[in-house]
Chains A and B, each alone.
Chain A
Amino acid sequence: MILETTMALALLVGGGATMRAAGMRGWGVLPWGLLAGLGMYVVAGSLLVLLGAPAAPALALAATALGGAGLWVWRWRAGADVRMRGAAVVGGLAGTAAATVLLRASGLVTWHVDSLVYTNLGQAIAAGHYVDSVGSYSLSKRLLTVPLVHAPAYYQGEYYVRSITPLIALATAGVLAWVVVRACPPEWRRWSGLVGAGAAVLLLTVPRMMLHAFYVNGHLVTGTAVMAATGATWLLATRREVPRTALIVAVALLLPVVVLTRAEGAILAGIVALPWLVLEGTRRRDRVIVLAAIGVPATAYYAFAALELLGEHPIEEGGQGGPAAYAIGLAIGLAALVAAAVATRVDAPSWLRWTPQVGEIGAWLLLVALVALKGTEVLVASAEAAFWSVDPVHGAWGATIGILAAAGIVLWAAARIPIVTVLRYSVTTFVPLALLLAYGRDGAYRMDPADSLHRMIAQIVPTLVLAVVVAACVAVPRWRARVGPAVPADAQTSS
């Protein structure tokens, strides 16, 4: 209990101090701080693990807390307004500690045999043996975030940190509410808080999200980081009164989490960032930071994995997909680094604005080509598995996500929504991406609660909730947009 409380507070202190130092104020520091702290811990921990440092989890937690606190002190001494109310700080820390104790004591947990792969790697990390032991199966499929998140349990003779996943789920709900509140029309005033709270409760009560809130796996943390980065970049693109530096810092800390959690993480991070990166008004400095936040972790991790592969003869059971995965990850990482280098000197040319749409259409065309080459068997079986998951009556995901998806399609088609591509892109590209992954692994998804598609849906549900609720709040019907005067001038942006 002491260890888990210490871990939660280290993440909150480090991340919260960083977010406050970057200009965030109010209650948002709490959920954003916990997620930013998670990002700092994963970045520091991954670096230490890949360097073969002993006690990487302990050192990374210390680096997170001290780094964030040090940044805050530095900004304070420089004269920046980073003051925090003492009562709010004490309340936030005490509330987080109490939640940690309660969640641990609840004994609520869900798992699958994959969870054992992650927690076993966490033990090896904490013991300082990750580099000695890891093979191409785990390097290509399990990556670093989830093992690192649970590695501190080693210090108390356990195998996973019981409170951390539900704490991340609560922080996810908090960040969702914070973004929705800022997206609401100003005339809604305090009622916008109710809309934000409603969106948060809606997310947490989606039947399978409840499972993922306690699940020892990486789907929730991926979905969290994707939603938070999507919400942050949409606010950056559409709102003046937001803490811009803090949101950029949060995106820069969460995209490495996306890269380092799932096998498809590097692709997903690119999908999340792309629509915002190519906006004409995105600042050059911000563009460089976000590109580096994808390029550095992807290049470092997949270069390490490729080097490990060179020493593995033959490739171990289950790791046969490793070389292709490393090549894709490394290519994305290097491309992001090159783009970051170019972006330091050159603004994005205007034709780049079309790349999200071109990419999405390209993904569908690639899928059509694969269906033509390899047949429809994988496609049909995967479509059946998808419907089995989201069947509104019998599906384990419940009826809500189908309703949200339908509402989203209607809103996106029938109304003008500012910068809608940023908002919807990671949701709408999920379908072709999931099907391409099925063809990539030469295996259809199955009608099984343990099947990867059924679980991967958790990676987009937080963003689906965000995108639809925000769209419902800000959409302007197209007929009204055509009339002109009824539409605020600053809402006349293309969807």
Chain B
Amino acid sequence: MIARAPGSGHGSPGAPVRLLVVLGALATLIVLNVVQLVAIDASTPSTFAVFEERPHAGIVELSMVDGSNAASRYAMTLALGHLAPGSTVIITDDGEGLVDRVDERLYGYGRADQVREVGDDIAAELADLGAHAYVAASGPAGSRGPAWRIVLDDRNPPVLAEDDEGAVIDAIRAGDADDIAAGPARELALVAVAAGDPAYAGEPENVLVETSLLAGWDPGDAP
């Protein structure tokens, strides 16, 4: 049973001996810690290692390793946040074929100003996007998400650098995000399509496509 006695708990008369024992035990354990710490830190997975040498301290950027859990979930929205912050993104409300919890990521790293859900499917065949379409960023599929592309319209200035083999994500990972040509906010639709890359044939691909490229797209369509 607990009984309360204010002012209780001071030590016994053997205090000086006990003080030495306590200090000695603390010192011994600290030495043991330091000895073990060196070996444990050296054998720890790299992102958990405190004294790992890294090119920079950007943990989100460094996590964008092709195919990884982090990249396959976050790379597309991270790229959007760098390329066109403040954009509006339209998605279908069933989210079929899209990377999971995408609206949270569009508003977070994607820096979207608005994410609108529409009831109808948004049709976007990659082959039908026309001559004005260019790929501004892309990435492969990974353990937790599909391959992805951000496709913009070159009639909407400024025209951003065309992505070459994942150059945008490579720049972000290297800590050179400031070198990425960024533009104003745009309106895009996020759709799941059959993969255009033969390497992922039969798998879905997530495409963030500027709505002005969609055949028959009427700005009034968006709710």
Real complex partners, A and B? Answer: yes
Complex-state Cα separation, A208 to B49, whole angstroms? 10
Find A127's partner among B5, B7, B37, B111 (CB 8 Å cutoff).
B111
Q: Are A238 and B8 in contact (CB under 8 A)?
A: yes
Complex-state Cα separation, A129 to B87, whole angstroms? 13
B residues 26-61 near A (Cβ < 8 Å) are 26-27, 29-30, 32-34, 36-37, 40-41, 44-45, 47-51, 54, 56-60
Min C-beta distance of A173 to chain B, whole Å: 12
The 0/1 profile, CB within 8 Å of B marked 1, for residues 144-178 of chain A is 00000000000000111010000000000000000
Q: Is A320 an interface residue (CB 8 A)?
A: no
Q: Are A127 and B107 in contact (CB under 8 A)?
A: yes
Q: Is A442 an interface residue (CB 8 A)?
A: no
Q: Hey, which chain B residues are within 8 Å of A116, CB to CB?
A: 59-60, 63, 70, 73-74
Complex-state Cα separation, A156 to B176, whole angstroms? 16
Min C-beta distance of B21 to chain A, whole Å: 8
Q: Is A491 an interface residue (CB 8 A)?
A: yes
Q: Hey, which chain A residues are within 8 Å of B155, CB to CB?
A: none
Q: Are B57 and A107 in contact (CB under 8 A)?
A: yes
Give the residue among B4, B25, B37 with the most A Cβ atoms within 10 A.
B4
Q: Are A110 and B48 in contact (CB under 8 A)?
A: yes
Q: Are A491 and B9 in contact (CB under 8 A)?
A: yes
B residues 91-127 near A (Cβ < 8 Å) are 100-101, 103-109, 111-112, 115
Min C-beta distance of A461 to chain B, whole Å: 12
The 0/1 profile, CB within 8 Å of B marked 1, for residues 105-117 of chain A is 0011111110110
Find A195's partner among B22, B36, B107 (CB 8 Å cutoff).
B22
Q: Are B10 and A185 in contact (CB under 8 A)?
A: yes
Interface window among A11-19, A79-87, A256-264, A392-400: A392-400
The 0/1 profile, CB within 8 Å of B marked 1, for residues 337-356 of chain A is 00000000000000001101
A133/B15 contact (C-beta < 8 A), A119-B60, A160-B59, A469-B22 known: no
Q: Are A158 and B106 in contact (CB under 8 A)?
A: no
Q: Hey, which chain A residues are within 8 Å of B198, CB to CB?
A: none
Complex-state Cα separation, A127 to B108, whole angstroms? 8
A residues 460-489 near B (Cβ < 8 Å) are 469, 472-474, 476-477, 480, 486-488
Give the residue among A159, A195, A240 with the most B Cβ atoms within 10 A.
A159
The 0/1 profile, CB within 8 Å of A marked 1, for residues 8-25 of chain B is 111111010011011101
Q: Hey, which chain B residues are within 8 Å of A421, CB to CB?
A: 2
Q: Are A183 and B45 in contact (CB under 8 A)?
A: no
Q: Hey, which chain B residues are within 8 Å of A278, CB to CB?
A: 2
Q: Hey, which chain A residues are within 8 Å of B4, CB to CB?
A: 237, 279-282, 419, 493
Q: Are B29 and A403 in contact (CB under 8 A)?
A: yes
Q: Is B3 an interface residue (CB 8 A)?
A: yes
Q: Are B50 and A474 in contact (CB under 8 A)?
A: no
The 0/1 profile, CB within 8 Å of B marked 1, for residues 263-300 of chain A is 00000000000010011111000000000000000000
Q: Are B23 and A108 in contact (CB under 8 A)?
A: no
Q: Are B41 and A210 in contact (CB under 8 A)?
A: yes
Q: Are A214 and B50 in contact (CB under 8 A)?
A: yes
Q: Hey, which chain A residues are within 8 Å of B104, CB to CB?
A: 120-121, 124, 133-135, 138
Q: Are A399 and B32 in contact (CB under 8 A)?
A: yes
Min C-beta distance of B93 to chain A, whole Å: 9
Interface window among A54-62, A66-74, A197-205, A371-379: A197-205
Q: Is A137 an interface residue (CB 8 A)?
A: yes
Q: Hey, which chain B residues are within 8 Å of A317, CB to CB?
A: 100-101
Q: Are A239 and B6 in contact (CB under 8 A)?
A: yes
Q: Are B18 and A473 in contact (CB under 8 A)?
A: yes
Complex-state Cα separation, A407 to B33, whole angstroms? 16
Q: Report the nearest B residue to A481, measured CB to CB.
A: B12
Q: Is B131 an interface residue (CB 8 A)?
A: no
A396/B7 contact (C-beta < 8 A), A133-B115, A202-B26, A450-B45 known: no
Q: Hey, which chain B residues are within 8 Å of A493, CB to CB?
A: 3-5, 8-9
Q: Is B1 an interface residue (CB 8 A)?
A: yes
Q: Are B33 and A205 in contact (CB under 8 A)?
A: yes
Q: Are A129 and B12 in contact (CB under 8 A)?
A: no
Interface window among A28-36, A43-51, A186-194: A186-194
Q: Are A186 and B106 in contact (CB under 8 A)?
A: no
Q: Hey, which chain A residues are within 8 Å of B108, CB to CB?
A: 119-124, 127, 129, 133
Find B9's partner among A130, A201, A490 (CB 8 Å cutoff).
A490
Q: Are A275 and B2 in contact (CB under 8 A)?
A: yes
Q: Is A247 an interface residue (CB 8 A)?
A: no
Min C-beta distance of B182 to chain A, whole Å: 11
Q: Hey, which chain A residues are within 8 Å of B47, CB to CB?
A: 110-112
Complex-state Cα separation, A108 to B5, whole angstroms? 45
Q: Hey, which chain A residues are within 8 Å of B56, CB to CB?
A: 107
Complex-state Cα separation, A237 to B57, whole angstroms? 44
Complex-state Cα separation, A138 to B108, whole angstroms? 13
Min C-beta distance of A8 to chain B, whole Å: 17
Known: A198-B26, A472-B22. 15 other contacts (CB 8 A): A120-B108, A120-B109, A124-B104, A127-B111, A134-B104, A135-B104, A158-B58, A188-B15, A201-B30, A214-B50, A237-B4, A398-B33, A419-B2, A449-B45, A492-B5
Q: Can you spell out 5 A-B residue pairs with CB atoms less than 8 angstroms apart?
A: A135-B101, A198-B23, A205-B30, A353-B1, A491-B10
For the complex of A and B, 10 pairs with smallest distance between CB atoms: A185-B11, A418-B9, A198-B26, A120-B108, A133-B107, A281-B4, A205-B33, A129-B107, A490-B8, A398-B36
